[in-house]
Structure 1
């Protein structure tokens, strides 16, 4: 008879605490500030910070200073690490319970997703292009900026072409306030500044925040900008892989309009 392990796997012990589990569930939906997590779990900030530290020590959660308010931080959950740890946890109970990487199901209707950042020159157009590519055009995708730049960043154009075979050389940034915002199912903000100014859109679409620094601010030399945009694109691609599992679960927005 197989001998039982002396103690539950570390992920079970870590995630099994009620406060930490609620923090994990909250962060699985997107990046959040600590005061938002305090409201979510209904516990004092010092206790929430203690449990966040334990999650960070386990490399499940990372923190990044807000580009809107440097005194604040956004916390992010590493979903890929959670998946790997869950697979190991299941396998420790029975080999049949090892979790394989599942394929994302296709939505049963055509969805609309909006990516927003400040300049609409790097982060949001990269996200727009990658989601459109990964869904084969089955999702209607747009991107916009609160203060759009004059052109799509050359590094974004190069990285998408060289690494993903996607040509965006002909696109131009567009303004968030000039976009027809009716009928979006999801709005993903990719920078902390635009999260603060992005209005509530008609139909109250699902709001998700990915806290990402501007990979190539003005004055960044081209080689450094290419490297930074390439790193950002990899992170965005990973997050889109997770988003693909969320899209089929969404309910239609009340003012749903079919894309033209």
Structure 2
């Protein structure tokens, strides 16, 4: 172990290898194609291959095959062992001096928890999520959404679905994530990415320790066919998000510690979207 850990830290000491590792950590438990990683980080495929090989040799990631594609994911057991070793060796078994958060129960207060849903364009999926949480659990949560490159207008099919389901669309607008990073921004407790591209992008850091989850799903905006077929894709996206948000809102926040809550959030994200319609 004493030799393995320094080798792993050496591998992670390279800025671009670290960027690959961080991206896979954000996408965990997803298995991500090498080509998608290369595109997301702007790295040549041949160079990405060498980075993935180094991370795999250090046992920090693992690969699986899907047809002719190679998919990569963090080898979480190894990563946990590395972190555990650092806590014991460097922190002398005193996580309270090394971790910036408590592993105890989340303190309840009179304020509502705030949830931010991030997408790329903030025109459909994240708007759906914001609207659903506000309507069905607005007494427990403040709901927000934003985009990394927001469109100027909300998608008309999305607005049609929301209007038909009784949502107030007058309060909706496309927003940039920067609105939630300034000194006057609300404190965010939960951050969810609801499209694969948003999870791959380097989003601005948030102050504090917001719990995060990746709830990726197909983009209804990319649906092709007749207007009826396109509208059906938006109905599917709405239904998938409704199921996930219902499960999230039902979590016993006052009885789960942060680790258990993060695990529950991750499990909700693993649910197949096809089963949620």
- Band of TM-score, shorter chain: 0.5 to 0.7
Residues in 1 aligned to 2:149 and 2:192: alpha-carbon distance in whole angstroms:
16
Equivalent residue in structure 2 for 1:204, among 206, 209, 221:
209
CA contact (8 A) 1:182 1:202 kept: no
- 1:240 is matched with 245
Which has more helix, going by share of residues? 2
Residues in 2 aligned to 1:220 and 1:137: alpha-carbon distance in whole angstroms:
39
Residues in 2 aligned to 1:43 and 1:174: alpha-carbon distance in whole angstroms:
36
SS in 2 for 1:32: coil
CA contact (8 A) 1:182 1:201 kept: no
CA contact (8 A) 1:160 1:168 kept: yes
Residues in 1 aligned to 2:249 and 2:171: alpha-carbon distance in whole angstroms:
26
Q: CA RMSD in A?
A: 3.4
Correspondence 1:133 to 2:138 = no
CA contact (8 A) 1:129 1:166 kept: yes
CA contact (8 A) 2:126 2:194 kept: yes
1:154-233 superposed matches below 5 A: 154-162=156-164, 164-169=165-170, 171-180=172-181, 181-197=185-201, 198-217=203-222, 221-233=226-238
1:179 Cα deviation after fit: 2.8
Give the alignment's TM-score, normalised by structure 1: 0.54
Equivalent residue in structure 2 for 1:149, among 145, 148, 151:
151
Residues in 2 aligned to 1:214 and 1:250: alpha-carbon distance in whole angstroms:
33
1:7-18 superposed matches below 5 A: none
Structure-2 change in CA distance of 1:177 and 1:247 (3 Å): farther
Residues in 2 aligned to 1:196 and 1:129: alpha-carbon distance in whole angstroms:
24
- 1:58 is matched with none
Structure-2 change in CA distance of 1:190 and 1:44 (3 Å): closer
**Gaps (5+ residues) in structure 1?**
1-29, 51-62, 64-69, 75-106, 252-260
- 1:18 is matched with none
**Gaps (5+ residues) in structure 2?**
1-26, 33-54, 74-107, 259-277
- 1:87 is matched with none
SS in 2 for 1:188: strand
SS in 2 for 1:216: helix
1:218 Cα deviation after fit: 8.4
Give the alignment's TM-score, normalised by structure 2: 0.51
CA contact (8 A) 1:182 1:203 kept: no
SS in 2 for 1:203: coil
Cα deviation code 1:116-175 (max 9, x no counterpart): 10000000010000011111443111000001011111111111121x211315522011
Residues in 2 aligned to 1:237 and 1:160: alpha-carbon distance in whole angstroms:
12
Residues in 2 aligned to 1:148 and 1:220: alpha-carbon distance in whole angstroms:
24
Structure-2 change in CA distance of 1:200 and 1:247 (3 Å): farther
- Equivalenced residues, count: 166
Residues in 1 aligned to 2:72 and 2:128: alpha-carbon distance in whole angstroms:
24
CA contact (8 A) 1:187 1:205 kept: yes
